[in-house]
Structure 1
Amino acid sequence: MFPIYAPLAVEITRPFWDPLGLGKAAAEYWRDACERSVLYLDVMRQRGNQYLEHMEETKPNVLGFDTEVLLDGRTLPNPVNYELMRILPTEGIEIDESMRPFVVVDPRAGHGPGIGGFKPDSEIGVALRAGHPCYFIGFLPYPVPGQTVEDVVEAEVQFLRHVIERHPDVAEQPMVVGNCQAGWQIMMAAALEPDCFGPILIAGAPLSYWAGERGKNPMRYSAGMLGGSWLTTLVSDLGHGQFDGAWLVQNFEKLNPANTFWSKQYNLYANVDSEAQRYLRFERWWGGHVVLNSDEIQYIVDNLFIGNRLSTSQLLTRDGRRIDLRNIRSPIVVFCSQGDDITPPPQALGWIDDLYESVDDIQAHDQTIVYCVHDTTGHLGIFVSGSVSRKEHAEFTANMDYIDILPPGLYESKVTERDASQANPDLIDGDYLLEFAPRDFEDIDAIVKTDIEDERRFATVSRISNINLGLYRRYLQPLIQAVMTPEAASWMRRSHPLKMGYKLLSDRNPATVPLPVMADAIKASRHPVDDSNPFKVLEGMISDQIVQGLNAYRDLRDQATEQLFMQVYGQPLLQTLMGLRADDQRPLPLPGASPEHHRFVEQRKQALLDSIDEGTIVQASVRALIFVLGGSTTTDERNFQRLKATRDEMGADVDLTTFKTWVRDEFEILNLDGHAAIQALPTMLQGEDAATIDAYMAHIEQVVRASEPLEEKTQTRLAIVKKLFERAKPVQEAPAQPEASSGESTRRSNAGRKRRATRKKGAPGPTRDSSSS
């Protein structure tokens, strides 16, 4: 692929003995191939230099934005190597400090920080263009000695509290985005301190490691094939208490050998004139390996990768608090992709099936879960793809307030292209429409494909891992720790195969000295061959054959690995020896709920039923809206945009937090006794005049009709609400008055609410018991 450079100085012409021009085409291709070879090698030399410069930086990252460090995690009571940074807006972007803050937490899974703000079209870029104050939680290459995963979680809570203090006039809590490993990390933080979080977006984040589909997702078998986590401890001991993230990156690369060993490099070689800068930008992040403490990586591997304990509420903090994801009170948006081989959809969504029995169980815990499954993008594309950022991330960011007021339950979101034929196109933000559809556990099961027999196999792996780890620590670890020195560990890290590939092709290698001179000469007189050249076409065909061959090897390897795993860990005798029963119970049963939670739920239900006919006209309108929109299979952002547009007239003094509480209360009341809740609307409207009732009914109809055409069930429910609002009008009206202005209508509404509040004064309302969080 990389022939020795021997440029042809003479002009290539077609001689008489080459009537088909194949000789001329071969000469042109040879010249182009030689030039591409030199340019390719020079790009690899630049990659090596870039790597060495990057690793020598004190605080390396690949953020595409200027930042200001606000908090250094090394100064916290339990110091960590994390930092809270404020993203400085670029020229032409104005930040509205009154908008909800936007916080991106980067994954520390072998690579350095910055992937969430790698490109202008990134998660941070989308939020900045929307006017949100943006913050970034990144990290340094080396951990603080002794830091743990729990220390990092506590630090992230401290960072969020600092962000909240910087925006005292913003009632809503920050929206937090966790990419990959950072996703489960912020879920842990939100479970421990739910009051610090607004909507949570976890992108490509694995939370349920046993989940997966047979014939796919081979990475979940790795622990079983290696005998458990003892190897992780060995690598940490060889690193003198530190685990080199390059080993994690190597595991990722093994998933797709065709891309690792051929496609990525060939794409650069074939398109070296246009791909060089993009390749170098990506390699700056991909090769920026970081280090983890041995305690950190052991905690992750034992409790998450192998034990699967986070999704089943088995983790405890050092002060005895249980990390239960059901404590999270913020809406959770799960963004995953079918094209992601590192975090496939079953692993991104399986925690829902691990924690809850049904959608009713989700609602009983006052949780809102939204999932979105992309069709094709890969793992990194979820964070850095321009098409994804312009589409899904842009819609999630623009509609975070909409997501925040969704009633408790399970929803699937879809992002579709804006269509000029759609009703009220002016209510669609951007080029795409965000829709939400209620879902049931059957929909989750269709993605996760839970298999009890497979779960029993993974439970067997977990117990064998504990045995092997105990044997290693008892007999081998003392010897390894006795002979390893910091100098030897540092030499081993520097000698990792991935790192050597960067160093060997850099200016530190004397053999690369001629490359920049030759590359400059070629660029001054470049002779690229046309894509129609038959030899260039043949080159592409050979490349395709190599890719197919490597893919066939991958498929054969993965199939053999899966079959061996299933046979070994599916042995009834082995499972029995590990203490597993051969009945139908799940090896990791549902965590269940405490008696205190059940008692709180019953008390709350009774309190809501007792107040079923109480509330203001705004609350009555909220109940009516939920009832009517519940008759539709989907709702979309147009309904919410219309609701925001009429919000001042529907209650100017109602903030988002209060409105969110009303939505959840009215939703629960409708769930408890829908018929009685709707029939109570006229009672709730007592004391309001006919003009005010008509104005609110008009607002309700505007919100509902924003997403026309309406389904038949929705039209029927809208007609029922109209009749009830009509029935609530006073029987005798005062003498006709000039039609009230919008401001007068609002004043009457406020007066009506005061009368209702006075009448209800002293009446006990539903309160949240601390046992629910």
Structure 2
Amino acid sequence: MPKQSTIPTIPTFADAFAYSIDAWQRAVLFLDVMRERGAQYEEHRASTAPNVLNFEAELVRDGRTLARPVNYALVRIVPPEGVAIDPSKRPFVVVDPRAGHGPGIGGFKADSEIGVAMKAGHPCYFIGFLPDPVPGQTIEDIAHAEALFLETVITRHPDADGKPCVIGNCQAGWAVMIVAALRPELFGPIIIAGAPLSYWAGVKGQNPMRYSGGLLGGSWLTALTGDLGAGVFDGAWLVQNFESQNPANTLWSKQYNLYSKIDTEAERYLGFERWWGGHVTLNAEEMQFIVDELFIGNKLAAGEIRTSDGTAVDLRNIHSPIVVFCSKGDNITPPQQALDWILDLYDSVEEIRAYGQTIVYTVHETIGHLGIFVSAGVARKEHDEFASNIDLIDVLPPGLYEAVLTPVDSVADGRDLVAGEWLMRCERRTLDDIRALGGNDIGDDRRFATAAKLSEINLALYRAYLQPAVKAAVTPPMALAMRNLHPLRVQYALFGPDNPFMAWTSALAEHVREHREPATPDNPFVAFQENLSRQVIDGLEAWRRTAECFSEQTFHAIYGAPALQAALGIDPNAGQQPRKAAKSLLHQELVEARITELRSRMAEGGTCEGLATALIFVGLARGGPDERGFEAVRRLRLAHPAAKQLNLAAFKAVMREQYFMLLIDENAALAALPKLLPEDIDERRAAFTALREVLEASGALTGLADERLQRVAVLFRLDSEPPFAINAGKAGRNRAAS
């Protein structure tokens, strides 16, 4: 076969003419989209309660009417036509981030967090906010309001099989975790997506955003920005900070992608810009708390944040399962910032279990920060699986797990037990698996602790010497004028309806659409255009990498200096992390008391407790539970009226108790198993058949799991009547049946 020629096509006059017509038409259409974007921005800005929800919503509770008023509100999502909601299923509550943008990103598309939850039959609620804060509101006031909202949702669903599942996106993630630590009784499973809970964490050579506070000298600049806003912090500065992390996309790719695909890309572009340009404001006090306590201070995971009444916010108080969703492609909240709070709180998985916590995480390989919330592919995969299997997550034994998703096409056994296109399996992990993702060493943590100390000093100096003069000079009208002149707002206004030079674009664009003549893909000038674009992107990427490298080296040089560390009270020779959650002797005493109680109750209960013990004992020999086994349990419950009396909360309590009993004394728990089983041989055989059916839903048992099942079969004594008839045991079984 002759080798194909690689000689480039020589452009002709016809090529140049066709491309010039195409380029001119694209420019006109591009300007018209910019005009639409400006008009959309002004319309969104004029709205009383702007949002980008793709679903109809009805107001349930207005935070402005509370005793401690806030600009937040709880709304119920009205199910679209054709979507059936099961009143027995737990409600989902999506909390959107207040990080400079307006609300609605969790319900931005039909394939979204809200969409997949309703698809799974769950009632859905949304906690959003108005563009401007209530004067004087604080982060603590918002936490109080969100707790009241959850109380309202729980009251509206008395027959739900579990407390609400709460989703916190990005900055809403840490806010939800604070509320859950203060009011754990209000929460079912918690899903935090792209949430920075450990802001210092990251990998050297990557994640430069964490250095920005130290390079600016700390949070005094946050205070100055709030004072220049007359007590209001403009969220557009936060959006600009996000954009600065990816200059290639901000300065070129986003607009070029629209220009090069102008015939198909306009609708998607305008939809996203409606949210991206929906800038909101915060009270200066709110933003100061976020920067001082969470970002530069990194105090949340260390348990150093306290409420106004002195209550410590300890994430170990959370009783509900915590699902952490993050991505290696996220340069805003990398996996280390999403997961390293676990390392700050716990020394081992055994300690996680001692607190009764269940933590499940999943790490996407490529998706970016915004894709975690808005990508339809992520919604149909990760969010869909979490929504469909939230009850499985709720009954997992305490510990650390990674959610592993496998295409259902590769599943050989129990495919009828898998609801969606993916099989979710929760595999057991240790803290070493979190450490393997990379992170700080002790020296890095000392550098950040030094930056935090310097920030406190600079902030105190600013408040003492400069703040009074700035506050006296800035009036509210001046602050409003400065907000309107923010570069991000100006770019919308330049192409908006108030610009008379944009009036001609609409009519001309309509004419262009009627006479559109796109250049062919093989036009050499189109190839030249693409090559030029790649060169621009490569140049901007090189600039970004250089700037990030310089920032990191500067941060390490300044805050790694032993003299500065010593001057600020940071021991440069200390062998411990400067921020580590304190241990509680009282908690250890409570754990020991609980162990004593469980030891005394190992022989109490009935068939349900016995089956739970056997199921956990055999299941521990496998890599981790998956949705097939739980679906088999659910179907058994539906098929047996007596089992249906045991609701999800009671089933979860039984599973946890039997799991802890096995951890405390496996031999004693197994020795007590025969006393929990029915005396009738036929009932025992039926119970063992059900046990085997659940265990084999994920495939045939092999190795240690099969050996354990055979050991359990002996304890079931299937070939003879049990040599015991204990009245206390019967009483325990009667209690369990009731």
The alpha carbon displacement at 1:589 in A equals 4.3
The alpha carbon displacement at 1:20 in A equals 6.1
Name the counterpart of 2:654: 662
Q: Does 1:134 align with 2:110?
A: no
Name the counterpart of 2:732: 756
1:697 pairs with one of 677, 688, 700: 688
Name the counterpart of 2:262: 272
Deviation by residue 1:126-171 (Cα, 9 ceiling, x = unmatched): 1111221110000000000000000000000000000001011224
Query: Match of 2:265, SS?
Result: helix
CA distance in 2, matches of 1:157, 1:386: 30
Output aligned runs, 1:435-446, within 5 Å.
435-446=425-436
Percent of paired sites with the same residue: 52
The alpha carbon displacement at 1:41 in A equals 0.7
2:53 pairs with one of 42, 53, 63: 63
Q: Does 1:434 align with 2:424?
A: yes
Name the counterpart of 1:485: 475
Q: Does 1:410 align with 2:400?
A: yes
2:96 pairs with one of 106, 110, 116: 106
2:669 pairs with one of 672, 677, 687: 677
Output aligned runs, 1:603-614, within 5 Å.
603-614=593-604
CA distance in 2, matches of 1:127, 1:651: 26
Deviation by residue 1:617-661 (Cα, 9 ceiling, x = unmatched): 110100110110100113211111111111243723211111111
1:647 pairs with one of 618, 633, 637: 637
Instruction: Show structure 1 runs of 5+ residues with no match.
Output: 1-18, 734-750, 762-773
CA distance in 2, matches of 1:548, 1:35: 27
Q: Which moved more, 1:251-260 or 1:420-429?
A: 420-429
Output aligned runs, 1:74-85, within 5 Å.
74-85=64-75
Conserved in 1, the CA contact under 8 Å of 2:607 and 2:733?
no
Name the counterpart of 2:377: 387
The alpha carbon displacement at 1:684 in A equals 2.1
Q: Does 1:716 align with 2:707?
A: yes
The alpha carbon displacement at 1:587 in A equals 4.0
The alpha carbon displacement at 1:297 in A equals 0.1
The alpha carbon displacement at 1:349 in A equals 0.2
The alpha carbon displacement at 1:758 in A equals 6.1
Q: Cα gap change, 1:529/1:200 in structure 2, threshold over 3 Å: closer, same or farther?
A: same
Amino acid at match of 1:280: L
Conserved in 1, the CA contact under 8 Å of 2:90 and 2:123?
yes
Name the counterpart of 1:541: 531
Q: Which moved more, 1:675-684 or 1:430-439?
A: 675-684
Query: Match of 1:177, SS?
Result: strand
Aligned length: 726
Name the counterpart of 1:179: 169
Name the counterpart of 1:748: none
Q: Does 1:400 align with 2:393?
A: no
Q: Cα gap change, 1:760/1:503 in structure 2, threshold over 3 Å: closer, same or farther?
A: closer
Deviation by residue 1:506-548 (Cα, 9 ceiling, x = unmatched): 1211111211111010001100111111110111111011111
The alpha carbon displacement at 1:330 in A equals 0.3
Amino acid at match of 1:136: F
Name the counterpart of 1:358: 348
Amino acid at match of 1:437: E
Amino acid at match of 1:299: F
Conserved in 1, the CA contact under 8 Å of 2:11 and 2:525?
no
Amino acid at match of 1:195: E
Q: Cα gap change, 1:677/1:140 in structure 2, threshold over 3 Å: closer, same or farther?
A: same
CA distance in 2, matches of 1:551, 1:760: 64
CA distance in 2, matches of 1:122, 1:493: 32
Compute the TM-score of the two structures, normalised by the length of structure 2: 0.96
The alpha carbon displacement at 1:263 in A equals 0.3
Query: Match of 1:274, SS?
Result: coil
Conserved in 2, the CA contact under 8 Å of 1:227 and 1:464?
yes
CA distance in 1, matches of 2:381, 2:147: 29
CA distance in 2, matches of 1:231, 1:309: 20
Name the counterpart of 1:476: 466
CA distance in 2, matches of 1:645, 1:566: 57
Amino acid at match of 1:168: P
Amino acid at match of 2:496: S
CA distance in 1, matches of 2:424, 2:720: 37
CA distance in 1, matches of 2:718, 2:693: 20
CA distance in 2, matches of 1:623, 1:331: 21
Instruction: Show structure 2 runs of 5+ residues with no match.
Output: 1-8
Output aligned runs, 1:14-163, within 5 Å.
22-163=12-153
CA distance in 1, matches of 2:66, 2:348: 41
Conserved in 2, the CA contact under 8 Å of 1:105 and 1:138?
yes
Q: Cα gap change, 1:347/1:731 in structure 2, threshold over 3 Å: closer, same or farther?
A: closer
CA distance in 2, matches of 1:514, 1:201: 48
The alpha carbon displacement at 1:580 in A equals 1.0
CA distance in 2, matches of 1:43, 1:753: 75
Output aligned runs, 1:506-585, within 5 Å.
506-585=496-575
Name the counterpart of 2:314: 324
CA distance in 1, matches of 2:353, 2:371: 32
Query: Match of 1:216, SS?
Result: coil
Deviation by residue 1:461-512 (Cα, 9 ceiling, x = unmatched): 0000000000000000000000100000000000000100000011211111
Query: Match of 1:354, SS?
Result: helix
The alpha carbon displacement at 1:596 in A equals 2.0
Name the counterpart of 1:739: none
Amino acid at match of 1:756: G
Deviation by residue 1:203-229 (Cα, 9 ceiling, x = unmatched): 000000010000100000001100000
Name the counterpart of 2:252: 262
Name the counterpart of 1:345: 335
Deviation by residue 1:356-393 (Cα, 9 ceiling, x = unmatched): 11111111101000000011111111111000000000
Q: Which moved more, 1:180-189 or 1:650-659?
A: 650-659
Q: Cα gap change, 1:420/1:360 in structure 2, threshold over 3 Å: closer, same or farther?
A: closer
Conserved in 2, the CA contact under 8 Å of 1:697 and 1:722?
yes
Amino acid at match of 2:196: P
CA distance in 2, matches of 1:388, 1:94: 23
| Cα RMSD for the two superposed structures | 1.8
Query: Match of 1:333, SS?
Result: strand
Q: Cα gap change, 1:231/1:695 in structure 2, threshold over 3 Å: closer, same or farther?
A: same
Amino acid at match of 1:60: P
Q: Cα gap change, 1:759/1:274 in structure 2, threshold over 3 Å: closer, same or farther?
A: closer
Conserved in 2, the CA contact under 8 Å of 1:312 and 1:588?
no
Conserved in 1, the CA contact under 8 Å of 2:684 and 2:718?
no
Conserved in 1, the CA contact under 8 Å of 2:230 and 2:474?
yes
Deviation by residue 1:58-105 (Cα, 9 ceiling, x = unmatched): 110010111101100000010000000000111111222221111000
Amino acid at match of 1:721: V
CA distance in 2, matches of 1:544, 1:714: 55
Q: Cα gap change, 1:760/1:345 in structure 2, threshold over 3 Å: closer, same or farther?
A: closer
CA distance in 2, matches of 1:383, 1:311: 24
Compute the TM-score of the two structures, normalised by the length of structure 1: 0.92
Name the counterpart of 2:3: none
The alpha carbon displacement at 1:680 in A equals 2.0
CA distance in 1, matches of 2:141, 2:412: 50
Deviation by residue 1:165-185 (Cα, 9 ceiling, x = unmatched): 101122410000000000000
CA distance in 1, matches of 2:716, 2:128: 53
Amino acid at match of 2:425: E
1:620 pairs with one of 610, 613, 629: 610
Name the counterpart of 1:765: none
CA distance in 1, matches of 2:554, 2:723: 82
Q: Which moved more, 1:446-455 or 1:31-40?
A: 446-455
CA distance in 1, matches of 2:84, 2:427: 34
Conserved in 2, the CA contact under 8 Å of 1:141 and 1:290?
yes
